[in-house]
Structure 1
Amino acid sequence: MKEVKIESTLYLFENTDALPAEVASLMQKAVEARDKAYAPYSNFNVGAAILLDNGVIITGSNQENASYPSGLCAERTAIYYAGSQYPEAKIIRMAISATSKRKPTSTPIPPCGACRQAISEYEIKQDKPIEIYFMGETGKVAKSNSLANLLPFIFDKSFL
């Protein structure tokens, strides 16, 4: 047996004021999208904003349904819209903000597993890393230079 060690590198910013201006602006778009979430069951609102290489910004929020799991996460709402409307555009970066109506969210909240898999599909398709910034409602902001840091064992078309 051989041990394999996997490391991921993330960067932490103290708050949104510490972000570069263009990233802070994108995160603000994610917060605005988060405020449009439809989450009457989980009371957990998430917003995502994506910057494309053509300069277009796409936003999405989570949309729930009483028939779980029929809803859709903010990240996938945004990334699928970007893919359907701008299929040739590359995703430069994504900003994500999440909040709960039940308790404060002051630590970075990463994308769920299903969203990580969806983001990986686009990162592989475009053959270029996607910067991902994520936070709670307030507090620190985490940055990953690539989805591969958040999902080191990516399942992709090479296995099919």
Structure 2
Amino acid sequence: MRKIEISTAAIIYKDVSELSTEDKMLMRKAVEAREKAYAPYSKFSVGAALLLENNEIVLGNNQENAAYPSGMCAERVAIWRAGSEFPSVKILKLAITASSSIHKVDKPAGPCGACRQALSEYEVKQKQHFPILFMGEVGEIVKTESLSSLLPFSFDSSYL
């Protein structure tokens, strides 16, 4: 038997004012995407903004459906859109923000498990990690240097 220890690292910013100019801009784009989300059932809106190597910014937001859970998360909308429109362009960074029409989301809302798996696929595909920033609608922002900080022992194509 062998025991290993898994550790992760993240930077926590107190609010948007502490972010770099580029990170602020990307988070603003994520907020714009969040404001267009279609979330009539959960009342929980999420926006995502991907910065690509060609300086394009690809947005996504959650899209719900009455046949719950047939909807789609913002992160997967954005990453699949980037993969469809810019298939060979690397992702440099992802910003995510969430809000609710029921209560104030004042803590960082990270990607769900399915989104983490989809994001992992793109890090493996492009052979390059990318930072992920996430927040609620106000308050602290978490920044990780890669998806592996959020999903250790991920499953990828090397197992197939």
Shared fold (TM-score, shorter chain, > 0.5): yes
Match for residue 82 of structure 1?
Answer: 82
Match for residue 64 of structure 1?
Answer: 64
How far off is 1:101 after superposition? 1.6
How far off is 1:3 after superposition? 2.5
Within a 5 Å distance, the mapping from 1:127-142 to structure 2 comes to: 127-142=127-142
SS at match of 1:96: strand
Structure 1 gaps, min length 5: none
Match for residue 7 of structure 2?
Answer: 7
How far off is 1:58 after superposition? 0.4
Within a 5 Å distance, the mapping from 1:1-160 to structure 2 comes to: 1-160=1-160
Q: Residue 62 of structure 1 aligns to which amino acid in structure 2? A: N
Matched pairs, number:
160
Note the aligned Cα RMSD (angstroms).
Answer: 0.7
Structure 1 length as normaliser, TM-score? 0.98
In 1, distance between residues paired with 2:67 and 2:54? 37
SS at match of 2:83: helix
How far off is 1:138 after superposition? 0.2
> What are the superposed Cα offsets for residues 11-47 of structure 1, whole Å, 9 maximum, x if unpaired?
0111001000011000000001000000011000000
Q: Residue 72 of structure 1 aligns to which amino acid in structure 2? A: M
Q: Residue 14 of structure 1 aligns to which amino acid in structure 2? A: K
Q: Which runs of 4+ in 1 moved over 6 A?
A: none
In 2, distance between residues paired with 1:108 and 1:133? 9
In 1, distance between residues paired with 2:77 and 2:111? 12
SS at match of 1:142: strand
> What are the superposed Cα offsets for residues 39-90 of structure 1, whole Å, 9 maximum, x if unpaired?
0110000000000000000001000001122110000000000000000100
How far off is 1:2 after superposition? 3.0
In 1, distance between residues paired with 2:42 and 2:2? 42
Structure 2 length as normaliser, TM-score? 0.98
Identity %: 54
Structure 2 gaps, min length 5: none
